[in-house]
Each structure stands twice: as C-alpha cells, then as structure tokens.
Amino acid sequence: MKLKYILSILLLGFITVFIGALFKLESYPYASELLLLGFSLKVLAAGLLIVKLLMNKDSKALNS
C-alpha cells in the first residue's frame, strides 16, 4: 500500500475524531460512534504504517 493512501486514512481519522468531539460538545447523537470510528481509522493507519516500515528493509521505505 502506498504511503499516500495510509496518510489519507490517517487524515480521515483525524477529521472524524474532530467532528465527533464537536458533536460530543454539542450533545448531538452519534458522537460516540464518530469518535470510535475516528480512533479506529487512526489505529488502522498506524498499523499499516508499521507493517510498511517492517516489510521494507531499504532506507527508502516511505518513498514508495
């Protein structure tokens, strides 16, 4: 998986957490679900990044 896709998942996770936090502050419905989805996306992106770093032994692992 390319780095730009992993970073896109991470960015989507940050945006979802931000929106979920705003929903939580305003006591809107589905705030907890948005926070859970956002944190799950961030964990997924971090896991994919770790796998990418471990699978590529060369020094240019993040460039591809």
Domain coordinates in residue numbering, the chain = 3-52
Q: What is the pLDDT of residue 62?
A: 64
Q: What is the pLDDT of residue 15?
A: 98
Q: Are 43 and 34 in contact (CB under 8 A)?
A: no
- List of the chain residues with pLDDT < 70: 59-64
Q: What is the pLDDT of residue 63?
A: 64
Cα-Cα-Cα-Cα torsion 29, 32, 35, 38, nearest 10 degrees, comes to -80
Q: What is the pLDDT of residue 40?
A: 98
